[in-house]
Structure 1
């Protein structure tokens, strides 16, 4: 089977098109979700940037803090702000708005359970859990809406503002055989994220004109931190996995320099659920001595009065935490916090306070399970976690003004064939693809798009060109058919050749001769050759010479003409005379009308003619006798007119009176009458 070049070209083009979706499918990765923070600063343990969520059907807007430890969505129930059946608007606003599950048609109750988050730090309470619809963003900017998401509602003041958990762990209400997926896991399984990962910083109300928090699901915002090469591995404890080793804590102020605040290196768990930094007692005592802090045994807080507050502001100290994957040695990263990061205000009813007070967010840890970095630390630290690769990184927040958002995806190892070792010492392991790989993917995608565009344009151009060529062929074929139709049809080989010019009734009866088709023109024997050229308008002729008729361009059959002199026919047992022979010839070749056949002379007995004597020859004097034939035929003995055998026959009418009328004579080119 043979295929044309056009068929092969078109087939190749569509084969490329069919392969392109495979390329696109191999490189199509969901984009990270950049969650827009709410414009409010909430909390009774400080001012923190919060995030709005839409919960229930129809959606109810609530404000929450980010919890890196929780995998659930916690909201404050409406009952928490009800007094005697009426809603307390101040409470409703301070607690980040409330949720009424009875108004949600998509709510599915599971029961009451313990609020376990940071129970080791003394937090406790109960909540009503169930499944409901949850979406990111406030009214008018909703994204990533998921049904049947685990939601817990509570009224306790331990967690004054709701929490949005970004940990991918599952929740088990009844048994371990039927776990409920977290919000992060649902996003991943519904292909809304490039990986189960996030990038987060808590924001800082003391920087510039209050810098909001930043949360990116499935990637990180590269414009918000100063990159480093330190990578951390998730700890084996499922409840305390984001653990870093604090090797050193140093303080520098206006009056003091390089003060050591950590006697021994300790591991700390990073958890944005709580506000403070929980350190061993020895480290807390070093802070007390350096900053002049006083521990309040009733509230377990380091309350700061106005005098101390003014002095600490004047000192403008900065504290640097040196972190590393190991307790000692190895690669490290330093995160520096200014005193403004510790300058917080606590409001009642936090820690049973009766009035607001400045406090230093440092807490005494009873044991190693309480060593924790809370939101205070994350004001100046950017946390990037890749749950699938079990690693994370901590970078110093960048406060450069005018930086545009640079969202970078973290690609899941199930979507790419390249993975990074957790202990490679390269921070890129926590970021997924390197910058070069991302550029390569972008170039490849651009090449695919350009190839598709070029192939599409080429295909339409070729189709149009082929249509034009076909139209030209059709036009040429139609013209050829029309030309053939205009041509005169060929005569049959058996037809007798006839003159192409029809005779008119009022014209001469002399029919013009047709010119034979050939390169060299041949004249008729009566006009050229032996008898010489024919003169137009000769004596006794009323018409000019016959015009030459141009033959058709198509080749015609050449018919064999009869000889110059027809075979003499016998008439009544005798031969025709020369005159009779020429008259027959005239009728054949000049198309003269048929005349009545020549009646043969009465048969006579053949006798031998007497010999010619001298008396029979007459000499004619031609002087003074115009128009006299050079040779006068002798008087025939048998009653016929005989011509001399050597007489030159002129095409003009002969001398003497004609027995034919002038009309008959004028229709012939020559006559022998």
Structure 2
């Protein structure tokens, strides 16, 4: 059969996609971005290691913390400061002076996307718009992206801004006009981050020497954690992705567990504290000698208690897992995790050391903040909807880094570097990138597969044409249309021999090497030779449909209505705009345009303390 002759070639074409993986240097998959720490420790509830970015044209240097649930980068604007407070701008990581940026494009005022934090009584509203953003500062070699969603706020519930880490798009009108998030834009660059993922640990101000925080986009730093293989699935509520079951809490200074019955909690990078049930807080009070200040809702640490705890150096172990029973990871938190500094910006009148534990009124307030993330390493993989928690490490030198890419599911390879906590076997380190499946390999597979399909299609087309040509060349039996000799057929001797009219010559199929029979006219006609039927069946070809991939198109910001509410795509939560009374924001910088509420801005504007 003719098709059999093509079988070896077709087999070669099918394997072409595998062969071309050797050409994985065609292009680069991209690499993780290790966001530089600012070298500053700041915040009215820490201090905390911040990270540097630039916003605007000309660029303005801002210092921020990670915003785990933010699709818009949160920064502070001049209205947060009074004219007499000279330290205010620096205390907030720097201010974004929007009137000084030629690329600022204002959209409107909306509630901040802080659903979990709202449960804790932390509110805020933002003046949203678009501007150019650079990760890191000039000279850091980090990318610059235009038209990034920025939310300027004057909320006093947060001390430092937050870098948008939520890759889900945001929409200011409805679900039909999604606007790419920062993480999406980083994935769409010519040299992208390998996946929609990030990893963070808060560092330690109370260590000697101090250990800066670590934030990696598209990967993780394998030098900053102890690997394990426990995976946590994302919560079904996308406003609370990082759901964690606290199975048990113990301390080495008491025989009784501080928490013995598991509870479900949520991780937030925007808060400093750990929120636990009242009964658990009371056990902490007894074990650590804490006293609750009802006025400021803090556990203050006086000198006597603090010195005693420094000498005893207690350790708290939190056993956490995906469920209240089953697989778990134990995070050990020495006492240095638990003495933070509260300034008057937080308390309103006093400054001192406090213990970052909060009394939760109900289970909706169970939350885990940055105090926990000083000793824990969090790695989030949005393309697999999982995250990992592991014990943080504290390298003695800041240069001790092992940045590993978290590959997307289609490019996942087995990697010995990293382990479960940084994304399990989904990672490939820079030093081992040759052994992984790079974008070049993926591109090679795609190109090779496309060529294979084209050649296969050409072969099938040629075979089809040959089949049609063979059918046209084959003689066909036609009905007798010899009307001039409309004669009856005679049946002689019962042999059913049919006599056909002599006006039209008839042929019947012969054998595979058909012999042409010529009619002899008036002479004796040679009997017709009948061959065996040899039908050839042509197999139907499967229709190949190419999926059109989303491009890197531009959105039309003119479609955005200033009185519309932002959506996070996929959420069932809408921040609906409603009228609000005018807010008098005094003592703004003369160089700034005063921020007054839009006529149709949201109703729930929470007054600053």
Q: In 2, distance between residues paired with 1:394 and 1:274? A: 18
**Partner residue in 1 for 2:181:** 182
**Partner residue in 1 for 2:358:** 363
Q: In 2, distance between residues paired with 1:211 and 1:71? A: 28
**Partner residue in 1 for 2:540:** none
* Secondary structure at the counterpart of residue 409 of structure 2: coil
Q: Deviations over 1:334-354 (max 9, x none)?
A: 1000111101110012043x1
Q: In 2, distance between residues paired with 1:312 and 1:417? A: 46
* Secondary structure at the counterpart of residue 349 of structure 1: helix
Residues 504-519 of structure 1 correspond to what in structure 2 (within 5 A)? Answer: none
Q: 2:287 aligns with which of 290, 295, 301?
A: 290
Q: In 2, distance between residues paired with 1:130 and 1:175? A: 17
* Secondary structure at the counterpart of residue 39 of structure 1: strand
> Is the CA contact 2:268–2:368 (under 8 Å) kept in the aligned structure 1?
yes
Note the residue ranges of structure 1 that are not aligned, 5 or more in a row. 1-15, 421-425, 449-673
Q: In 2, distance between residues paired with 1:123 and 1:444? A: 44
> How far did residue 419 of structure 1 move?
10
Q: Deviations over 1:425-462 (max 9, x none)?
A: x82792453669995843899x99xxxxxxxxxxxxxx
Structure of greater Rg? 1
Q: 1:114 aligns with which of 111, 117, 125?
A: 111
> Is the CA contact 2:199–2:217 (under 8 Å) kept in the aligned structure 1?
yes
Q: Deviations over 1:193-238 (max 9, x none)?
A: 1000011101101122110001111000001111112111111111
**Partner residue in 1 for 2:51:** 51
Residues 492-503 of structure 1 correspond to what in structure 2 (within 5 A)? Answer: none
Q: Which segments of structure 1 move beyond 4 Å, counting only runs of 4 or more?
A: 19-22, 417-420, 434-440
> How far did residue 276 of structure 1 move?
0.4
**Partner residue in 1 for 2:435:** 442
**Partner residue in 2 for 1:507:** none
> Is the CA contact 1:133–1:147 (under 8 Å) kept in the aligned structure 2?
yes
**Partner residue in 2 for 1:430:** 423
Task: Flag the 1:435–1:50 CA change in 2: closer, same or farther, 3 A.
Answer: closer
> How far did residue 152 of structure 1 move?
0.6
Task: Flag the 1:24–1:373 CA change in 2: closer, same or farther, 3 A.
Answer: same
**Partner residue in 2 for 1:662:** none
Q: 2:333 aligns with which of 333, 337, 340?
A: 337
Q: In 1, distance between residues paired with 2:59 and 2:229? A: 43
> How far did residue 267 of structure 1 move?
1.4
**Partner residue in 1 for 2:158:** 159
Q: In 2, distance between residues paired with 1:440 and 1:165? A: 28
**Partner residue in 2 for 1:104:** 101
Q: Deviations over 1:24-70 (max 9, x none)?
A: 36773101111110010001111100011100111111111112122
> Is the CA contact 2:251–2:314 (under 8 Å) kept in the aligned structure 1?
yes
> Is the CA contact 1:409–1:432 (under 8 Å) kept in the aligned structure 2?
no
> How far did residue 186 of structure 1 move?
1.1
Instruction: Let me know the Cα RMSD of the aligned residues.
Output: 2.7
**Partner residue in 2 for 1:271:** 268
Q: In 1, distance between residues paired with 2:131 and 2:251? A: 47
Q: TM-score scaled by structure 1?
A: 0.58
* Secondary structure at the counterpart of residue 240 of structure 2: coil
> How far did residue 282 of structure 1 move?
1.5
> Is the CA contact 2:405–2:429 (under 8 Å) kept in the aligned structure 1?
no
Task: Flag the 1:297–1:97 CA change in 2: closer, same or farther, 3 A.
Answer: same
Task: Flag the 1:295–1:257 CA change in 2: closer, same or farther, 3 A.
Answer: closer
> How far did residue 411 of structure 1 move?
0.6
Task: Flag the 1:21–1:133 CA change in 2: closer, same or farther, 3 A.
Answer: farther
1:262 matched to 2:259? The reply is yes
Q: In 1, distance between residues paired with 2:346 and 2:386? A: 34
> Is the CA contact 1:263–1:283 (under 8 Å) kept in the aligned structure 2?
no
Task: Flag the 1:267–1:130 CA change in 2: closer, same or farther, 3 A.
Answer: same
> Is the CA contact 1:230–1:332 (under 8 Å) kept in the aligned structure 2?
yes
> Is the CA contact 1:263–1:282 (under 8 Å) kept in the aligned structure 2?
no
Q: In 1, distance between residues paired with 2:386 and 2:302? A: 41
Task: Flag the 1:258–1:97 CA change in 2: closer, same or farther, 3 A.
Answer: same
* Secondary structure at the counterpart of residue 129 of structure 1: strand
**Partner residue in 1 for 2:91:** 94
Q: TM-score scaled by structure 2?
A: 0.64
Task: Flag the 1:208–1:298 CA change in 2: closer, same or farther, 3 A.
Answer: same
> How far did residue 139 of structure 1 move?
3.6
Task: Flag the 1:175–1:25 CA change in 2: closer, same or farther, 3 A.
Answer: farther
Q: In 2, distance between residues paired with 1:341 and 1:366? A: 24
> Is the CA contact 2:404–2:429 (under 8 Å) kept in the aligned structure 1?
no
Q: Deviations over 1:611-642 (max 9, x none)?
A: xxxxxxxxxxxxxxxxxxxxxxxxxxxxxxxx
Q: In 2, distance between residues paired with 1:198 and 1:62? A: 20
> Is the CA contact 2:412–2:426 (under 8 Å) kept in the aligned structure 1?
no
> Is the CA contact 1:132–1:151 (under 8 Å) kept in the aligned structure 2?
yes
> Is the CA contact 1:219–1:431 (under 8 Å) kept in the aligned structure 2?
no
Q: 1:373 aligns with which of 368, 388, 394?
A: 368
> Is the CA contact 1:231–1:429 (under 8 Å) kept in the aligned structure 2?
no
Q: 2:382 aligns with which of 371, 382, 387?
A: 387
> How far did residue 374 of structure 1 move?
0.3
Note the residue ranges of structure 2 that are not aligned, 5 or more in a row. 1-15, 442-609
Task: Flag the 1:244–1:304 CA change in 2: closer, same or farther, 3 A.
Answer: same
> How far did residue 185 of structure 1 move?
1.3
> How far did residue 23 of structure 1 move?
2.2
